[in-house]
Amino acid sequence: MAISGMHCVSCGLNIEKQLKRAAGVVSASVNYAAGKAYVEYDPTVVSLKAIEKIIEDAGYTVVTPAERPPGAAEGAPLEDAAAVARVKEMTDLKIRFLTATALSVPLLFFSMGMHSGLVRLHWPDITVALIQMALTTGIIIAGYSFYVRGIFAVIKTKAANMDTLIALGTGAAYIYSIFVMVAIARGVAGYSADDLYFEVAGFLLVFIMLGKWLEARATGKTSAALRLLMNLAPKTAVVVRDGRELAIPLGDVIVGDIVIVKPGQRVPVGGIITGGASSIDESMVTGESVPVEKKPGDEVIDGTINKTGAFTFKATRVGKDTAIARIVKLVEEAQLSRAPIQALADRISAIFVPSVAALAIIVFIAWFIAGQGFVFSLTVAITVLIIACPCSLGLATPTAVMVSTGMAARNGILIKSAQAIQTAEAVDIIVFDKTGTLTIGRPVVTDIMINDNLDERHVICLAASAESMSEHSLSHAMAGFARQKNVALKPVSDFSAIKGKGISARVDGAKLLIGSQDYISGQGVKIPEHFLQKSTQLAGEGKSLVWVAENGALAGLFGVADALKDYAVAVIQRLKQSGIRVLMITGDNLKTALAVASSAGIEEVIAHALPGEKAERIKALRSGGHTVAMVGDGINDAVALATADLGIAIGSGIDIAVESAHIVLIRDDLRDVLSAISLSRYAMKKIRQNLFWAFFYNIIGIPVAAGLLYPFTGFLLNPVLAGAAMAFSSVTVVSNSLLIKRYRSIDKDSR
């Protein structure tokens, strides 16, 4: 559920605490930065309404599905509701800040202006006091939420938060000023308008509201990538019902609906084409910019763009089952998770507010006993209350996680949890599966040698035409090679296959023999020495050999292998340069494995490994104190992926429900392995910077606010400046996390 009104990490922790106390709540996680809560509960014990009431009793507002934008159906991504809550909250904060600012201008005139002598009014002190009180009261009303959640909600929940510190600090200044005003009205000697502290309460609230508004704007940007993902789906769809074309909200499309898509439109839901044909831009899934031709019976993916013809399709994936909804849900769950590095900050935040409140009381008593007087001691106590900022601690990790997971998702990298980011940064060994991971997973023609007196295209045509009649995997490689070379096939007759040896056929009048060396030699075909040397070389590289003879004479030799994927060599090299040890594991024989590993630039190979043995090898590497990542296809390598510290499933497409993987790469692009590791490292760098700043700010700021420098330098921090510093601290952390957006993937330009 989306929650509005949270002003600090303590708010989120308090909501969590209240929810976990409730009977029937299994687990609760609140992300202050995202403005969301994830609650698992037993509906037979506690109702959703009761859960919402717990949150509302704590002083916050739950945004219900009914408040979501048009097109967002029940079960639609939570970000819809969170966006509504965020817009409402930012608008409210802006109005309240501008109102408070308008009131603060005359307050400045009647307080600091008169104190400094810049403004000379010979008005009675009580008149000045009443004007200041009226203006400050207006500002306090504008900042009412700090008092509702800081005082009244705390009485209900018995848990303090950041708003409590603000309410105590500004409230103390306001109440003291009321006391002074009463003394002035009664004519008590020693009290004048110069002793009023109304401006401290007023300006503190103005600065705090400004900081919260800026923080809300910056925090809203952390989920911008997620909103862009959601916007890939159109808000409406055109369906055929009762023979009529109807434009309906996306959330109203049901399984079985016939949907119409015209050129230039995005596919609204997933389904199967029933009529028409087109080319579709599926780059959001595949990363390939070349449109894919689609015809009846082919699958279409929601969010992809129809480039040319119009077509109709039958909806099979709607609502929360669409590709975009599933991706967004996975990213949302990752953003609600906590990284291990966040644990210390959470523990400190949980006790931060009561500790600071206690410190403020101690500081007040200490300075008062030291003879500095009531006003001095009160000023120091207020400054301590205001400068303390658990928000920066609480925002340090979640904001960086939100930005990095959102950015990754937009680039086809689905990071399932914050812990996966921290683990990815620590990886020092990566184990790649061979087939389908490092290699394309199917045989292709890699080498060709043609008899000197023959034309290459002629031999390709003969071999591919004859092989087109066979079901052998090598036959598919020959057919694919012909298509790649734009060679047209010719009719085949007298086709015959000899199991384990080869085939014979007649093409364009020529008698062909295609198969192993033993097969064509046994048919009387002579093989020249330079062909034998070439075959020895290719066999040494682990490649399969296809010999072709035409009319009893050798025509050519083809080398066939499961070729490396694009960028495999470059990716392995970059991983090594970054200090990561790279291994390859496969169930294939050692000779083939060594050949593939050598061409990829991998020195360490584990061959003849069955799925269970792969997991054992991963376990052995981990036992040596290493952080091990396994890269595989998510199906055959499921056990090994689950055993590794970090499982990376590659080329999963829209099938993102790979339970065993911690990171899912939608595209079949090895560069995304690099991107996932490098982005995680950059995100962790930002998290550490954020935590350092948050701790440094509080460790330095609180002692200075408590007057530590005063005995030596005479410097005493003004409470208003403390309020500005507190606001600056949170905004700095969020802004630093937003810099992750500017991070460029290692191979971004080559895409």
Report the alpha-carbon distance of residue 669 to residue 751 in Å, rounded: 10
What is the side-by-side order of every strand in the sheet holding 305-306? 292-294, 278-281, 305-306
Closest by Cα among 227, 267, 254, 392 to 734? 392
Report the alpha-carbon distance of residue 458 to residue 474 in Å, rounded: 19
Report the alpha-carbon distance of residue 340 to residue 645 in Å, rounded: 14
Report the alpha-carbon distance of residue 262 to residue 85 in Å, rounded: 34
Q: Which of 433, 633, 669, 672 is catalytic?
A: 433
Report the alpha-carbon distance of residue 180 to residue 196 in Å, rounded: 6
- For residues 406 and 225, is the Cβ–Cβ distance under 8 A? yes
Pairing assessment for the beta strands 429-433 and 581-585 based on DSSP bridges: parallel
Phi-psi category of 35—alpha, beta or left, where left has phi over 0 and alpha has psi -120 to 50?
left
Amino acid identity of residue 299, one-letter, is: E
The length of the chain, given as a count of residues: 751
- For residues 381 and 306, is the Cβ–Cβ distance under 8 A? no
What is the side-by-side order of every strand in the sheet holding 299-300? 244-249, 236-241, 258-261, 311-317, 270-276, 299-300
CA dist list (Å): 298 to 219, 312, 399 = 41, 11, 40
Q: Which long-range contacts (CB under 8 A, 24 or more apart) does 474-481 make?
A: 474/443, 474/544, 474/546, 474/560, 476/442, 476/443, 477/442, 477/443, 477/444, 477/445, 477/560, 478/445, 478/546, 478/558, 478/560, 480/444, 480/445, 481/444, 481/445, 481/558
- For residues 447 and 558, is the Cβ–Cβ distance under 8 A? yes
Report the alpha-carbon distance of residue 252 to residue 207 in Å, rounded: 46
Residue 666 is encoded by which pair of tokens? 């939608």
Our answer to whether residue 242 is catalytic in this structure is no
Query: What b/e readout covers 9-28, taking b as 16+ CB neighbours within 10 angstroms?
Result: bbbbbbbbbbbeebeebeeb
Instruction: Mark out the alpha helices in 370-413 (DSSP H runs).
Output: 374-387, 390-410
Report the alpha-carbon distance of residue 189 to residue 186 in Å, rounded: 9
DSSP H or E run through 20: helix 9-21
Report the alpha-carbon distance of residue 314 to residue 452 in Å, rounded: 55
Within 8 A by CB and 6+ apart from 633, the residues are 433, 436, 437, 649, 650, 651, 652
What is the side-by-side order of every strand in the sheet holding 553-564? 439-450, 553-564, 544-550, 510-515, 502-507, 492-498
Instruction: Mark out the alpha helices in 246-322 (DSSP H runs).
Output: 283-286
Which residues have a catalytic role annotated? Answer: 433
